[in-house]
């Protein structure tokens, strides 16, 4: 009886499931409804077949229940492997069945490397989860993220923390809502605003230089100017963070955390780092979200960090709103928040909860990535003295070190090598290395020459495309020269997949690079709003610091281990980078 029933139910369930799911992946609710349906069929069938065996009742029902759940899952597995609309896309079979594999790599914090390996093995498109595709071909970047991707909303990854009182501009998944909220933000990032903000960035750099001078070993004597036995040693990871967070809190809210002055991190950084791991895992795995509160009970530290982060963001907003009167009268300098919170053309005013979410986003989005980029620039420059000296010579030629420093002195034509160094660090280690998840619309979409069904998650994997030898020759090497047109001339044939004449010419350059495969800030409607500000900060930082100091790895610092230990937690996560600094005479 049991085997016959199992076969009959599996066949019926298979047919029904195929009809229900044939166009797209089931939602979690859909899956449970499906298991329930199979259960009903099993229970009903079991009841008929058990007629006359009254005593077997409860045991038989339990058996039916198990069988129903088992068959329901089995049918889903078979469906995902053989009948799913994405079944023809390559990928590990376990990833086709369950999202848990991808989630596991987020838990172990190595998802960026895992994704790169998947692309190496399976090629341009990989089915990384039952309902998710990752791409690395340059020809689809525009369709997924660029001008042609207007209908692609952000994917469920962005739904994030179920406990959050409101969405920030970044976590809003509604296209219309995102568009009008982003307009408010854009006002704070205009050319005029950035010019006004510039002296404030330089002021923080002056504090940093003073602190480094106090730690530096005097160049002329070679002896320490500081009695501390650690004199001359700095942790660039930490100081880059102090700089980036102080700048962002100042530009965003007209106050700074005082990290550069005090030479130690504020609680804000600790709470942000502590809170993001669980949030990233939850973002990756939608079914975990309802369980978030229970998971946090197992990790009280993460829970406390989350609460601290929310509290500090709220306090910052409260202080800023208390100052609003003064700012309105023009007695204090405007900041980004003045623009974001000003009533715009949107259909309604932002709620207090939305403003708090945006306040947290403003500092976190602005500071983390900039700090990472600074550290990686030093990571590569300290491995090659020739590159360090070339950059130093270029900066010496742009700025005398005495007059006020302005970013206009470091424009691309004047300091191309500096820009090349920044681009290479962002190419090799994009702070947000994994793809920016998008969801296909209800009618599905063409990506390249293939139709991708409705409600599928898709993205271009940033780190994998930026390290692909077809788009960047010698892809794992730090070569700032590849961004300087005159130095890209040369004999080496490229390996690029050319699509037109311009790209054929590109292939014959010595350092082949494909501008459309360089997407550290992503592109299109969700592109980074702070890109220009980020270049401004990075250029000013490098000019001030490299003009005044020489750096090398501290004795005993293991550069290979530093790189090997880079992890992913929403953004990259790196360890301390100890450098020895020396003031230039
Ligand atoms: C090297 C530095 C930076 C990098 C590599 C970077 C990268 C990115 C990326 C990849 C995104 C898309 C995120 C997503 O869709 O999930 C993004 C969004 C964003 N970034 Fe940046 N960013 C940097 C610096 C900054 C700075 C200095 C700010 C200033 C506040 C900023 C503000 C934003 C904002 C507001 C968004 C959200 C845009 C939207 O939702 O429409 N970023 N950034």
How high is the pLDDT of residue 549?
Answer: 96
Q: How far is the CA of 374 from the centre of ligand 1 (A)?
A: 15
Residue 442 pLDDT > 60, yes or no? yes
Contact 459, 432 (CB under 8 A): no
Mean pLDDT of 301-323: 82
Q: Is the pLDDT of residue 543 over 90?
A: yes
Confidence of residue 224 (pLDDT cuts 50, 70, 90): very low
* Residue 285 predicted with pLDDT over 90: no
Residue with CA nearest ligand 1 atom 18:
528
Closest C-alpha to ligand 1, atom 3: 369
Ligand 1 geometric centre to CA of 364 (Å): 9
Check if 521 has its Cβ closer than 6 Å to any atom of ligand 1: yes
The set of residues, in sequence order, having a beta carbon less than 8 Å from that of 493 and lying 6+ positions away, is 507, 508
What is the predicted pLDDT for the residue at 495? 41
Task: Report the DSSP beta bridge partners of residue 54.
Answer: none
The token pair that represents 180 in the structure block: 């009008």
Among residues 183, 185, 368, the alpha carbon closest in space to that of 280 is found at 368
Model pLDDT, residue 387: 97
Tell me which residue of 473, 400, 487, 465 sits closest to 125, measured CA to CA. Answer: 465
Please name each of the domains of the chain with its CATH number.
2-74 (no CATH), 175-406+520-583 (1.10.630.10)
pLDDT tens per residue, range 111-161: 999 999 999 999 999 999 999 999 999 999 999 999 888 889 999 888 866
Considering only the C-alpha atoms of the chain, give the largest distance between any 2 of them, rounded to a whole number of Å: 101
What ipTM did this prediction achieve? Answer: 0.99
Average pLDDT of the segment spanning 2-24: 61
Q: Is the minimum distance from the CB of 528 to ligand 1 under 6 angstroms? A: yes
Residue numbering of the annotated binding site: 528
The two structure tokens encoding residue 289:
């979200």
More confident residue, 321 or 502: 321
**How many angstroms separate the CA atoms of 372 and 422, rounded?**
11
**pLDDT at residue 60 tops 70:** no
CA of 522 from ligand 1 middle (Å) equals 8
Q: From the CA of 318, how far away is ligand 1's center (Å)?
A: 24
Residue 458: name the closest of 145, 87, 16, 7 by CA: 145
Residue 19: the pLDDT is 61
Task: Output the residue whose Cα is nearest ligand 1's atom 1.
Answer: 370
Task: Find out whether the beta carbon of 169 lies less than 6 Å from any atom of ligand 1.
Answer: yes
pLDDT computed for residue 222 by the predictor: 47
Q: Which atom of ligand 1 is nearest to the CA of 431?
A: 5
pLDDT number for residue 496: 43
Cα 69 to ligand 1 centre (Å): 44
> What atom in ligand 1 is closest to the CA of residue 372?
1
Q: What is the pLDDT of residues 356-404, one digit of tens each?
A: 888 888 888 889 999 999 999 999 999 999 999 999 999 999 999 999 9
Q: How far apart are CA 374 and CA 381, in angstroms?
A: 11
Mean pLDDT of 464-481: 95
Residue of 160, 530, 572 to mutate, ligand 1, most atoms within 8 A of C-beta: 530
Q: How confident is the model at residue 226 (pLDDT cuts 50, 70, 90)?
A: very low
Position 78 scores a pLDDT of 80
Atom of ligand 1 nearest to the CA of 363: 30
Q: Which of 465, 461, 466 is nearest to 479 (CA)?
A: 466
Known binding-site residues for heme equal 528
Q: Over the stretch 163-215, which tens digit does the pLDDT of each residue have? A: 677 888 888 999 999 999 999 889 889 898 899 999 999 999 999 999 999 98
Of 3-7, 80-84, 299-303, 344-348, minimum mean pLDDT range? 3-7
CA distance 68 to 64: 6
pLDDT at residue number 453 = 92
**Would the pLDDT of 220 be above 50?**
no
Q: Look at residue 458 and tell me whether its pLDDT is greater than 70.
A: yes
**Residues 268-284: tens digit of each pLDDT:** 888 887 777 667 777 76
Quick one: pLDDT band at residue 26, thresholds 50, 70, 90? low
pLDDT at residue 207 in the model: 97
CA of 493 to the centre of ligand 1 (A): 35
Cα(525)–Cα(72) distance, rounded to whole angstroms?
40
Q: Using a 6 Å cutoff on CB, does residue 170 contact ligand 1?
A: yes
Candidate from 45-59, 462-476, 551-565 with smallest mean pLDDT: 45-59
Closest-CA residue to 475 (of 466, 484, 483): 466
Residue 59 has what pLDDT? Answer: 60
Q: Is 430 left (phi over 0), alpha (psi -120 to 50) or beta?
A: beta
Query: Residue 193 C-alpha to ligand 1 middle, in angstroms?
Result: 17
* CB of 431 shorter than 6 A to ligand 1: yes
Identify the residue whose C-alpha is closest to ligand 1 atom 27: 366
Q: What is the DSSP string of 280-294?
A: HHHHH-GGGGGGHHH
Handedness of CA 255, 260, 264, 268 (dihedral sign): positive
Answer yes or no: is the C-beta of 146 below 6 A from any ligand 1 atom.
no
pLDDT at 223 over 60: no
- Residues 6 or more apart from 39 whose CB is under 8 A from it? 64, 65, 68, 69, 72
The per-residue pLDDT for 518 is 97
Q: If you measure from the C-alpha of residue 527 to the centroid of ligand 1, how many angstroms do you get, rounded to a whole number?
A: 7
**Residue 13: which pLDDT band, with cuts at 50, 70 and 90?**
low
**Quick check: 81 pLDDT over 60?**
yes
Residue 24 has pLDDT above 70, yes or no: no
Q: What is the mean pLDDT of the chain?
A: 83
Ligand 1 contacts CB of residue 466 (under 6 A) = no
Q: What is the arithmetic mean of pLDDT over 398-416?
A: 95
Confidence of residue 433 (pLDDT cuts 50, 70, 90): very high
**Where does the pLDDT of residue 494 fall: very low under 50, low under 70, confident under 90, or very high at 90 and above?**
very low
5 versus 309: the higher-pLDDT residue is 309
**Residue 333 pLDDT exceeds 60:** no
């Amino acid at each position: 009886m049991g085997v016959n029933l199992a076969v009959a139910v599996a066949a019926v369930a298979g047919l029904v499931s195929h009809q229900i799911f044939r166009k797209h992946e089931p939602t979690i609710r859909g899956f449970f409804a499906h298991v329930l349906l199979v259960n009903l069929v099993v229970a009903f069938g079991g009841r008929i077949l058990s007629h006359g065996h009254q005593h077997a009742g409860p045991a038989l029902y339990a058996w039916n229940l198990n069988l129903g759940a088992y068959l329901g899952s089995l049918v889903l597995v078979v469906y995902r492997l053989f009948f799913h609309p994405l079944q023809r896309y390559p990928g590990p079979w376990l990833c086709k069945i369950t999202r848990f594999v991808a989630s596991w790599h987020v838990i172990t914090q190595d998802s960026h490397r895992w994704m790169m390996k998947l692309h190496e093995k399976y090629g341009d498109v990989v089915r990384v989860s039952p309902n998710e595709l990752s791409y690395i071909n340059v020809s689809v970047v525009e369709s997924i993220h660029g001008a042609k991707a207007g209908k692609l909303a952000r994917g469920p990854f962005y739904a994030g923390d179920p406990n959050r009182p409101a969405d920030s501009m970044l976590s809003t998944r509604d296209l219309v809502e995102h568009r009008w909220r982003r307009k408010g933000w854009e006002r704070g990032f205009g050319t005029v605003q950035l010019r006004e903000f510039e002296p404030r960035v330089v002021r923080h750099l002056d504090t940093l230089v003073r602190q480094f001078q106090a730690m530096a070993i005097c160049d002329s004597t070679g002896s320490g100017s500081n009695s501390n036995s650690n004199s001359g040693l700095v942790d660039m990871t930490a100081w880059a963070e102090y700089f980036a967070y102080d700048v962002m809190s100042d530009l965003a809210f007209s106050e700074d955390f005082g990290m550069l002055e005090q030479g130690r991190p504020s609680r804000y950084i600790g709470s942000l780092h502590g809170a993001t791991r669980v949030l990233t895992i939850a973002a990756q795995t939608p079914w975990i979200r309802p369980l978030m509160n229970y998971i946090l009970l197992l990790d009280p530290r993460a829970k406390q960090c989350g609460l601290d982060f929310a509290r500090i963001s709220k306090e910052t907003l409260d202080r800023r709103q208390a100052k609003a009167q003064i700012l309105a009268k023009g007695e204090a300098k405007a900041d980004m928040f003045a623009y974001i919170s000003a009533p715009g053309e949107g259909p309604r005013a932002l709620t207090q909860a939305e403003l708090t979410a945006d306040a947290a986003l403003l500092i976190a989005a602005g500071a983390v990535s900039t700090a990472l980029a600074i550290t990686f620039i030093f990571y590569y420059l300290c491995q090659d003295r020739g590159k360090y000296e070339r950059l130093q010579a270029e900066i010496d030629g742009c700025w005398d070190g005495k007059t006020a420093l302005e970013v206009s002195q470091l424009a691309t034509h004047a300091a191309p090598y500096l820009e090349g160094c920044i681009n290479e660090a962002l190419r090799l280690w994009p702070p947000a290395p994994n793809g920016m998840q998008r969801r296909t619309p209800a009618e599905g979409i063409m990506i390249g020459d293939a139709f991708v069904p409705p409600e599928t998650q898709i993205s271009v994997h940033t780190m994998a495309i930026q390290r692909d030898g077809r788009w960047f020759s010698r892809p794992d090497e730090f070569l700032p020269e590849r961004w300087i047109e005159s130095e890209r001339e040369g004999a080496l044939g490229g390996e690029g997949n050319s699509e037109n004449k311009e790209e054929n010419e590109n292939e014959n350059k010595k350092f082949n690079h494909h501008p459309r495969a360089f997407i550290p800030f992503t592109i299109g409607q969700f592109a980074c709003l702070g890109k220009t500000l980020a270049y401004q900060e990075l250029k000013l930082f490098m000019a001030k610091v490299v003009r005044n100091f020489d750096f090398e790895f501290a004795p005993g610092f293991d550069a290979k281990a530093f790189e090997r230990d880079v992890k992913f937690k929403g953004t990259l996560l790196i360890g301390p980078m100890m450098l020895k600094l020396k003031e230039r005479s």
